[in-house]
Amino acid sequence: MDPSDPQSDDLVTLTDLTREFSSGGGFMKPRRTMRAVNNVSLGVPRGKVTGVVGESGCGKSTLARLVLRLLEATEGTVVFDGKNLATQSQTEMRKLRRQMQMVFQDPYSAIDPRYTIRRALLEPFQVQGDSKSAAEAKLAAEELISMVGLNPRMMASFPHQLSGGQKQRVGIARALALRPSFLVLDEPTASLDVSIQAQIIDLLENLKEELGLTYLFISHDLSLVRYFCDRVVVMYLGRVMEILPGPGVLPRHHYAHALLDSNFEPDPTRRKVVTMLSGEIPSPFATIPGCAFAARCPAATDLCNRERPPLADLGDGHMIACHHPMD
């Protein structure tokens, strides 16, 4: 399918996306380069929730920022609704940003502590040069705050007067202010208690239905991703290991399997003996010619150390990058 076709099923298409960071360098010391995101190709289907899951350092948050062009890609392209983001001018990009917004992990730092909630909610309009009369602004802010299930009486409050869950609701309301079609959710519930996490997920589900949104949901919590997402992308050291087309599909990649195996079900009758992965996550600065997981994989062979497995389609959109997939 041609990614530049706006009628495509995918709202966002990533092609060979790579982002490098380098550090160090100095007298007699070479600069070191790491690939936080390494050759990632991925479609984000319209109206669906695409989940990206992986452990710390797997590049999921860098990916989130690349998708919104909050970071420039080193190589590769991001096509949003038929438009290549890298070729958009500043002005065009600003217009496009109305359609693509982000909800951040830490609602404590995402809102200016000196702003009232009302001002925080109206900030997106101000940034976009969208001047509103006092009456219009009042209406817009009230609509947004009720949309996320907060009491309009909170409008005059400051962020420190709100709980974590309430602040994250404000974060979501701000992201929705400009009526975007696409939201990148970067661990939106990671700093919240479970009873509040479930509230926020419930809210996000309802908003998606009401507003016809498309989500890219970044998380380290596999059980949450499997509940909330239509497709699950498993990343490891900057690379896509496996794409599960549905939440019920069992992983066949050894890493994805280990990740699932490490996930404890809230059910004492289903305790498990965890198969322990040997070894540690390699340094992100290491250049790995073969499979990134080979060093810890129980099924690794010479081939895995030598050659990087391509992301191959097993059918029905189940993609896997493994030379020796599990049965």
Partner 1 sequence: MALLSVQDISVSIGVLSPLESVTFEIDKGEILGLVGESGSGKSLTAMCVMGLLPRIGGTITKGAIVFDGRDLTRLPELELRRLRGKRIALISQNPMTSLDPIIRIGAQIDQVSTLHLGLSAEAAKARSLELIAQLRIPEPAAIHRAYPHQLSGGMKQRIVIAMALAADPDLIVADEPTTALDVTIQAQIIQIMAELVRDRGLALMLITHDMGVVAQACDRVVVLYAGRVAEMNVIGEIFAAPKHPYTRELIRCIPRLGQEPGSLKGIPGVVPSIVDYPEGCRFNPRCSDAQALCRERKPALERKSTGLAACHFSEA
Residues that bind partner 1 (CB under 8 A): 55-56, 163, 165-166, 193-202, 205, 220-224, 226-228, 247-248, 258-259, 261-274, 276-277, 280-281
Kindly tell me which of 179 and 272 has the beta carbon lying closer to partner 1: 272
Smallest gap from residue 128 Cβ to partner 1 (A) = 32
Answer yes or no: are the C-beta atoms of 11 and 85 closer than 8 Å. no
Smallest gap from residue 221 Cβ to partner 1 (A) = 8
Kindly tell me which of 267 and 316 has the beta carbon lying closer to partner 1: 267
Smallest gap from residue 262 Cβ to partner 1 (A) = 4
Smallest gap from residue 165 Cβ to partner 1 (A) = 6
| 99 to 32, 182, 214, 289: CA distances (angstroms) | 36, 6, 11, 38
The continuous run of DSSP H or E covering 102 comes out as strand 100-103
Smallest gap from residue 119 Cβ to partner 1 (A) = 23
Write the DSSP symbol of residue 295.
Answer: G
Answer yes or no: are the C-beta atoms of 189 and 173 closer than 8 Å. no
Kindly tell me which of 17 and 258 has the beta carbon lying closer to partner 1: 258
Kindly tell me which of 5 and 202 has the beta carbon lying closer to partner 1: 202
| 285 to 23, 36, 143, 281: CA distances (angstroms) | 10, 9, 47, 11
Q: Which of 143, 6, 31, 169 is nearest to 81 (CA)?
A: 6
Kindly tell me which of 98 and 220 has the beta carbon lying closer to partner 1: 220
Smallest gap from residue 171 Cβ to partner 1 (A) = 16
Kindly tell me which of 121 and 224 has the beta carbon lying closer to partner 1: 224
**Using CA atoms, how far apart are residues 10 and 18, in angstroms rounded to an integer?**
20
CA 309 to chain centre: 24
110 SS3 class: helix
How many CB atoms are located within 10 Å of the residue 267 CB? 7
